[in-house]
Structure 1
Amino acid sequence: MRKPGLLLALMTTAGLASGCGPGPGAVPCPAIAQATAVSVTVAADYAPQVGALNLKACQDGTCKESGVELHPGSASIDQGCTPDGVCSATASPDGTKVGALMLETLTESPMTVTASGTAADGTALPVRTLDFRPRGEYPFGEQCGRFVTASVTLDASGLSERI
């Protein structure tokens, strides 16, 4: 009596597990999660002047503010494709600095981002503010869900939306 019950449980579980993957002819989605963050790129000509950066992001009545750890940025350099269609690229430092302010949620609602901080010599950087709308796209197809991104660029003239 015990073995038929176990067999039935295994068959049911196997049937459920096989129903979780993509169906016949379906394109699988990448197993990556979206980061709910505002990303910032400090332009190469302004990066040497920035010592420390603080971002404040407000959306849907909620604000989050924190110092942003900046890392050297890079650009992708096309390495070409082989005759059998395998293509590659490499990253090359481009003089920018990049970072991100992690958020609890990110929607396509209007957002206000404020950047402040200190220059490399310790003096205060000008406070810059930008109002914009984060963008929602389907980079892996509609079957994989919508990714919402919020990206800004900081340079000597202020903040701008990074498209």
Structure 2
Amino acid sequence: MTELNRYTVLPFSGARFHENESRLGDGELPCAICGKVVAQPFAHTATVVGGGAWAETAEDAANTTDAGYMGVWGIGPNCHAKYLVKAANGRTSPLKVFLGLTYTQGKQLRTIVAARTQKTAAQLLGIPLNHLQRYWSVSGNKVDLDTALASPEVVFLASDSVRRDYSPAPTSTSNAKAAGQ
């Protein structure tokens, strides 16, 4: 599976993106992060989808018919070095949104968290890793993705087991138990 380049800064949101982009000459293309000119052919690229987010999967990147697809953009070498999301082993590590159920205050609640690894997700949720591996899944739902990816490593709870009306969990999830534990 090909790893996709993703960055810690959202597309087109660098501090001076619009100012830098306005200085480009005819035929020059901007870096999708800072707006400065990027030499062609691009050494680094990333696909922008969802109307302004980095593609998480090859499937997202290939879906050119989606209304939010914005194409493949060049990334300048400085922005690539500074903002590329990397795992501890130096490889690109995409965030995943883990979805499951927890019991809090006597209620079963839909719960999500964006993390790079199952281990990190389990630690954030205060549950054993093997429980997460057996009973939780990686979500592809747009509401789940938009909510959790906007605040990585923050646990979000819905008001029940069905709705997706998420809000951040209280700072301590230690009193929440995973469903089935």
TM-score bracket, shorter-length normalisation: under 0.3
| TM-score, normalised relative to structure 2 | 0.22
Please state which structure has a larger fraction of its residues in helix: 2
